[in-house]
Amino acid sequence: MSEREPNLDVDVEIRDDRTAVLTVEGELDMETAGRLEDLLAEQFGQGRRRLVLDLSALGFMDSSGLNVLIRAVNRARETGGDLYLAAPTPAVRRILEITGVTTMTPPHDGVADALAAAGGAR
């Protein structure tokens, strides 16, 4: 694992002053989870509480990555927002199911659905 190059790209798209879409691509693991956590923290810091994570290009996620998602959900909800998961790949969806995170924050089929859910929460 230590031989691996960190492999994670996150693209942040600001939709409005309360909403952002973060497209997470690659592998979310012990090496890379910190980066996503920083980017999420940045969005929280700028007052955006409705964050959509586009997981359609995320191939792998381990417990470190999962923890980042869980903490982000909790933080968003503490301040009246939420974290919306969109289009997880089957592998990631399975992890979310096994760990029960799907019951905590049910994934949406796509970014549009997630944004619609985020908009409805407004």
Partner 1 sequence: MSGPRFPGGDPSAGLPEAGAAAPPTSGTAVPYPADGRLAATVERLRGEVRAAHAAAEGRALIELAKGVIVERLGCGPAQAARQLAELADRAGLSRLELAADIINQAARDRMAEAADEFVRTAVDEPAATAPDASVAVRLRTAESAALSAGDTQAVAESLLRHALEPLGAVAVAIWTTGPDTSLSLRGHAGFGLDEAARWHYVPPGVTTAARQALIGRRTVRYASLAAAGIPSIGRARHPDGGRVVVPAGTGGRIHGVLEICWARPLDPLPQAVERQIEALAELCAHTLEALPEASPGGSSVPGGFPVPGGHGAPALAELSDGLYDPALVLTPHLDEAGKLVDFRIRHANAHFRDPAGRPRGSVDGALLLEAYPATAGGSELFERIERVYATGEPFRARRTRLTALVDQVPLASLADISISRYGASVLLIWRVEDESARLASLLQHAQRLGRVGAFEEDVVAGDITWNGQLYELFGRMPTEPPVALRDLAAHAHPDDAGTIRRFLQKVLHQRRVGSTAFRMLRHDGVTRHIRVTAEPAPGTDGGLQAVRGAYQDISAQHWTEVALTATRDRLAATEEAAEERNRLTLQLQHAIMPPAKPPLDAPGLDVAVRYRPAESDSLVGGDWYDAVVLPSGKVLLCVGDVAGHGVEAATGMVVLRNALRGLAVTGAGPGQLLSWLNSVAHHLTAHLTATAVCGIYDPGSRTLRWARAGHLPPVLVRGDEALDLPLLHGLLLGALAEAEYEEAELRLEPGDTLLMYTDGLVERRDTAVHDSVAQLLTVARQPSDSLERRLDQLLARSKSDTDDDTCVVGVQVS
Binding mask 67-86 for partner 1 (x = CB under 8 A): x--xx-xx------------
**Any contact of residue 66 with partner 1 (CB under 8 A)?**
yes
Cα(29)–Cα(63) distance, rounded to whole angstroms?
7
Say if CB 84 and CB 53 are below 8 A apart.
yes
Contacts of residue 14, defined as CB under 8 A and 6 or more positions apart, other chains included, come to 20, 48
**Any contact of residue 64 with partner 1 (CB under 8 A)?**
yes
Nearer to partner 1, 18 or 71 (CB): 71
**Any contact of residue 37 with partner 1 (CB under 8 A)?**
no
State the nearest-atom distance from the C-beta of 11 to partner 1, in Å. 22
Binding residue for partner 1, selected from 14, 41, 57, 91, defined by CB under 8 A: 91
Cα(39)–Cα(22) distance, rounded to whole angstroms?
9
**Any contact of residue 5 with partner 1 (CB under 8 A)?**
no
* Strands, E assignment, the chain: 8-16, 19-28, 50-61, 82-86
**Any contact of residue 117 with partner 1 (CB under 8 A)?**
no
Cα(32)–Cα(82) distance, rounded to whole angstroms?
22
Binding residue for partner 1, selected from 15, 99, 110, 113, defined by CB under 8 A: 99
Cα(73)–Cα(52) distance, rounded to whole angstroms?
11
Q: Which residues bind partner 1 (CB under 8 A)?
A: 1-2, 27, 30, 59-60, 62-64, 66-67, 70-71, 73-74, 90-91, 94-95, 97-101, 103-104
